[in-house]
Structure formats: C-alpha cells, structure tokens
Chains A and B, each alone.
Chain A
Amino acid sequence: MEDNVNLVSVGLGEIKVSDDPGTVLVAYGLGSCLGLTAYDPVVRIGGLAHMVLPYPNGTAHSSPGRYVAEAVPALLNAMGESGSLGRRLQFKVAGGAQMFTFDGGNESLEIGRRNIEALREITSDLGMRINASDLGGNCGRTMKLQIATGLVIVSTAGSSEQSF
C-alpha cells in the first residue's frame, strides 16, 4: 500500500486539503495538539488541520490552523473552496493527550484537555458532528488521512495502529 503513496506532512498550525487519490495527509506526533480531518466521500476531497492551542491570545500570527477556534472554520472554508459540500463532510479527530503528568497540578489547565473542550464548543456552535475520535490519554499519536478512501489511521509509539 505504501509504495505509491504521497505522504504530505501537515505541521503545527497548518491546514492542508487534497484531492489527489495518491496522497495521504499526515499529522506526525500529535501530543496535546489535535488533528482534525474533514472528508467528502462523493468527490473524494480531504483536509487535515493540525491544531495547537484552543483560542487566540491576541498577538499577530499567520498559521491558520494554530488555534482550534480559527482552524475549524478555516478547514471548512478550505474544503468548500476545493469543491466539497459541507453537508457531506465526515469529521474525525485525534490527539489532546496529556504527555506530562504534573502531580498536584490542575488537570483542567492541561493544553490537551483545553483543546478538546474548545473543539467541543466550536463544533457544537457550528452544528458539526464528529464521526470518530481518539482523544486524551498520555500517548503521542500520528494521524493519517487517506484521500483515496477517507480512512483515518492513528498510530502510537507503543501499540499497533487503529483505523476509523
């Protein structure tokens, strides 16, 4: 399977959309970050946002995908501009892990948890339904979206990969 695959990395704060069936969009090493995929199965267009923090803090920046609050609408726009239809989109999300366990610390302050909460709020506001997710825990994840099929594969350092 891997031979003809064009692995396209989506780095911190990036959003990428593809209609090339040979492409796999990949977010490597999601720790507290969230990877959000959108896929239109009719036209076979997919996008991946690699989100880092929940809400913008006011300073100037240019990564469209850095903040969950901005990345989600930006991903929807990018998908729309590529020719996909909003109501057909399937959404899947992975990440939001707590990599460092700070004993005695306030878990709710952990960025992974805050990202998950922000995503819940934004998707609820936008009326979006997340079809599948692999969130939380303490492990880093790599998330891949196969443009040909819409299949998402999540792998960790320790266990075998799962797909959904």
Chain B
Amino acid sequence: MKKADLIKDYEGLARAGLENVAAAFSQMAGEEIAAVAPELRMVPLAEIPTLAGGPESVVTAIYLAVSGDLSGHITLVLDMDSAARLAWLLLGVGEGVTDQASDTTVSKGVPDMDPMMRSALEEVGNVVGSAFLNTVADGLRVSLRPSIPYLVVDMAGAVLSTVVSRAEYGSERIPLADAAFSSRQDSIKGFLFILPGSDAIRYLKTLTPGADDLGG
C-alpha cells in the first residue's frame, strides 16, 4: 500500500480504491472485470438517481452503510442479467440459475431471488465495498467499517434516492466517487457509487487544497 501512503488527497485514494474494487471483483468472478471511468466529481443530488441506467430500470443493488472514523454509503448496482450471470459464475452451476434469476420478480417489495444467489451477491457487495474502504482507510490512516450488506431488487432511482436520503445532506452537490464495471463482452456490468457522509466531506475539505465547494 505504498502508493496509498503517499496520496493525501481523496481523489487519488478514490481512484485507487475503485481500481482495487475491479481487482477484487475480478478475483471473485474468476474473469477480468475492469473499472470504466473511475472518477470523483461534484454531482447535484437530484442527478444521482439517474446514474445507474435510468431511474425506472429494475436492478439488483447491494448497499453498505459505512461507519467508524468517518461515515458514508456504498451502493453496488447490477442490472438483472448481470446479477444472474455473476451469481452463475460464483455458484458454478449451469443455466438453471440464470433462468431462475432472470425470472426474479419483485412482488410487494419481496424479491423471489434464490437465497444462495442472494447470499452470493451480498458477498460480492461486501467484498468490493470493503476493497474500496480498505484503500481509503489505509490511505487516510483511519478505520472504516461496513455494515452487513443489504440487497434489494427494485427501480434504480428508488434505491439511489433512498441512499441519498439516508445521507441527509444539507447542500445541493456532493463529491461522488463512482465507476462503471464491465467484464469482457459486457456480460457483467455494474456501477459502484460511493457517497461520503457529511462528516467525511468536512474532513476531506481539510485534506484537499481549495476544496471549499465540496458541499456536504
């Protein structure tokens, strides 16, 4: 982690974190998954629910609440086909799982997802979210702990707006670190969104020169 020792600004850490996410993701899936356009940028809150393929698109999302020295919110979003294929790779079973997953429906908010598939995807969320946190925590020399993962199958907009709500931001724009993730041939595609808590944003302002507009 020598690179993280030297990087004192969050942008560098966030990028390194997202690259480590890609590595962890790849190792779990057993095939190469690359981070596409990993970046840190100021985003208006109202835009966030639109960022994962349209607010009405039904997705599988795994959410981790971050606590410890700083708070935050991590959300992994996968379209339904990608979730199915990823679960298939992890569980090492045949097409049956894929069919089952494609049939996953949301009825009254209770997804019919197979419990083992659900567990496998929650674990992916846990591992990739932790990979990001480990990079940032070691870089800032703090302790950042994820909650257990929470999986939902619902509209992307509903998931992301709820995550934004949980952060209870006071300002209009916040520093969002995110990346799209994609395997070769795009068979597995997803997004990872990192929203720092207001306390974290205040702390990051002290680290980053000229960052008075970091919101929070």
A and B touch in the complex (CB under 8 A): yes
Number of residues from A at the complex interface, CB < 8 A? 36
Partner of B171 from the list A59, A142, A157 (CB cut-off 8 Å) is A59
Task: Report Cα–Cα, A53/B92, bound state, in Å.
Answer: 43
A100 touches B162 (CB 8 A): yes
B46 touches A14 (CB 8 A): yes
Note all chain B residues with C-beta closer than 8 A to A138: 108-110
Using known A-B contacts A29-B56, A60-B170, A63-B46, determine if residue A100 contacts B63 with beta carbons closer than 8 Å.
yes
Q: Which of A73-107 contact B (CB under 8 A)?
A: 97, 99-102
Note all chain A residues with C-beta closer than 8 A to B150: 100-102
Identify whether the interface residues of B are mostly helix, strand, loop, or mixed: mixed
Note all chain A residues with C-beta closer than 8 A to B105: 158
B157 touches A157 (CB 8 A): no
Is B133's beta carbon under 8 Å from chain A?
no
Is B159's beta carbon under 8 Å from chain A?
yes
B164 touches A29 (CB 8 A): no
Identify whether the interface residues of A are mostly helix, strand, loop, or mixed: loop
Partner of A137 from the list B47, B109, B157, B165 (CB cut-off 8 Å) is B109
Q: 13 A–B contact pairs at CB < 8 A? A: A12-B48, A12-B161, A29-B56, A32-B165, A33-B165, A52-B165, A99-B152, A111-B162, A139-B158, A156-B155, A157-B58, A157-B106, A157-B154
Minimum Cβ distance to chain B for residue A15 (Å): 12
Note all chain A residues with C-beta closer than 8 A to B160: 29
Q: Which of B105-122 contact A (CB under 8 A)?
A: 105-110
Note all chain B residues with C-beta closer than 8 A to A63: 45-46, 172
Using known A-B contacts A12-B46, A137-B108, A138-B108, determine if residue A99 contacts B154 with beta carbons closer than 8 Å.
yes
Task: Report Cα–Cα, A138/B55, bound state, in Å.
Answer: 17
Note all chain B residues with C-beta closer than 8 A to A60: 170-171
